Structure 1
Amino acid sequence: MADSLSVTSGNNSYMEAMQQGGNASAFAPNKAMGQAEFLMLLTTQMQNQDPTKPMDPTSFVSDLTQMSQLEATTRMTESVAAMTLGFQNMQTLQGASLIGKNVQVEGEQFSHNQGVASQFRLSTEQPLTDVTVVVSDASGVVKEIDVGTLQKGDKTIDWDGLDKFGLEKPNGLYNLTAYGTDENGELQSIDTVVGSRVNTIGVNTDGSITLTLATGERVAMSAVREISG
């Protein structure tokens, strides 16, 4: 009888062990193998190898080299990610320092104060002839300014605030369009640089900075040509 009970008890222990063995999570490793674990495994296998059939350590050395390269690449990736984050944070701080500053930016919209001449710049990478600047508002063309010939580089242009009929225009937002003819007789647009104040900055998902000007226009930080107090 005792033997029967002993066997039953053993069977129960055996079944419990089998059930535990079926639980994969109980034996799952809690971390990936690193270099230290790999070297320990290699050393143990070499110590317990069959003397008549020694193992070839070449493949283990090759695996260890690949593991070292992988770990080095992972550390380098983490370093680059940290540097990128630091650069983005620095850009954000630089952008924040521009709030309230007056800037000259590549743009097409500017604020005009009645009775005061508005000034802006034209920028071109090649000489142009028959250069014309068109000032417009929400109602259409206000005035066309004949500039003539424009050499490579920047040129400052003044608008006296008068429309094509000689009437003084009120305060408000105005748009600029500039174009000229190149040496091949083709019409080319010209970049305009206008002055405004930075009201706010925004950080885009890619880390770049966008400035919102007093005119309401949004421009990239890279468009800033000049900063003043």
Structure 2
Amino acid sequence: MAIDSTSGVNLSDVLAASGSTSTSKSTAATDNSALGKDAFLQLLVTQMQNQNPLEPQDNGEFVAQLAQFSSLEGITSLNDSVNSITSSLGSSQALQASSLVGRSVVVQNDTAVVDTTKSFTGSVVVPQSIDSASVVVKDASGNTVKTIEMGSQAAGNAQFIWDGTNAKGEAVDPGSYTFTATTTVDGESLQMNTLLPAAVTSVTISQTGGEMMLNLAGLGQVALSKVQTIGI
């Protein structure tokens, strides 16, 4: 677009023209349709140099264009800052992920992979004070292995321990077991949630900014936000 030094050139007209052409050679622009702050400033200076001396640019309009430039520069700086923060968060997630592999976490679930050569500890989420509660342990085939009586409990998380034996006191094989906690409230049976430990085998980090997912032994993926406790 040719510039006539005898007539006023309005920056708004230049900006409109720049949207449909690729005449800007500023290296700050990311592509032909994007106008960077350097190109914006260059166009503003060009407008001042080529304005009509008999009809100089209105002060109010000039101030408005400076405000536009300031806003553009602020948005560019903000975008750079956000990109920097995103990169830092990604590095932090990767470091956090590496420290979780091989550790035990507690999640709300009714199934766990149990090493029956040692005691297994879990918790029951008790919604209100109860007179009695029990946890039924079943194997992978659905057969009842043992019932653990917990007695009266106050509201909160109540811990239970399974020694890895069946109702006859015999040790059972390691493997996947299901834990079902129940109580009676006002004459009706109520099933309660259980919090069980699981080993973290690997971690999946989202490439699109999503939540980190933990891959747990025998359970599959669980979001990090669902973890109640991180153990050793």
So what's the TM-score if we normalise by structure 1? Answer: 0.69
For 1:221 and 1:55, the matched residues in 2 are separated by: 59
Secondary structure of the residue aligned to 2:68 is helix
Matches within 5 A, 1:150-169: 150-164=153-167, 168-169=171-172
Secondary structure of the residue aligned to 1:88 is helix
Matched, 1:36 2:31: no
Compared CA separation, residues 28 and 126, structure 1 to 2 (3 A) = farther
Give 1:128 shift.
4.5
- In structure 2, runs of 5+ residues without a counterpart are 1-19, 27-34
For 1:61 and 1:186, the matched residues in 2 are separated by: 74
- Relative contact order, higher structure (CA 8 A, sep 6+): 1
Partner of 1:149: 152
Partner of 1:170: 173
Matches within 5 A, 1:65-104: 65-104=67-106
Secondary structure of the residue aligned to 1:138 is coil
**Paired letter, 1:189:** M
For 1:126 and 1:137, the matched residues in 2 are separated by: 29
Give 1:96 shift.
0.7
**Paired letter, 1:110:** A
Q: Deviations over 1:19-53 (max 9, x none)?
A: xxxxx97x72223363531441342145x321xx4
So what's the TM-score if we normalise by structure 2? Answer: 0.69
Report the structure, 1 or 2, having the larger helix content: 1
**Paired letter, 1:29:** S
> Percent identity over the alignment?
27
Partner of 1:217: 220
Secondary structure of the residue aligned to 1:145 is strand
**Paired letter, 1:60:** F
Report the structure, 1 or 2, having the larger strand content: 1
Give 1:98 shift.
2.0
Compared CA separation, residues 54 and 209, structure 1 to 2 (3 A) = closer
Matches within 5 A, 1:103-182: 103-114=105-116, 116-124=118-126, 126-142=128-144, 143-164=146-167, 168-180=171-183
Of the structure 1 ranges 135-144 and 72-81, higher mean CA displacement relative to structure 2 is found in: 135-144
For 1:204 and 1:178, the matched residues in 2 are separated by: 34
Note the aligned Cα RMSD (angstroms).
3.2
- In structure 1, runs of 5+ residues without a counterpart are 1-23
Of the structure 1 ranges 83-92 and 139-148, higher mean CA displacement relative to structure 2 is found in: 139-148
**Bigger radius of gyration:** 1
Give 1:56 shift.
1.5
Compared CA separation, residues 218 and 54, structure 1 to 2 (3 A) = closer
Would you say the 8 A contact 1:200–1:212 is kept in 2?
yes
**Paired letter, 1:122:** V
Counterpart of 2:206 (choices 204, 207, 211) is: 204
Partner of 1:20: none
Compared CA separation, residues 67 and 99, structure 1 to 2 (3 A) = same
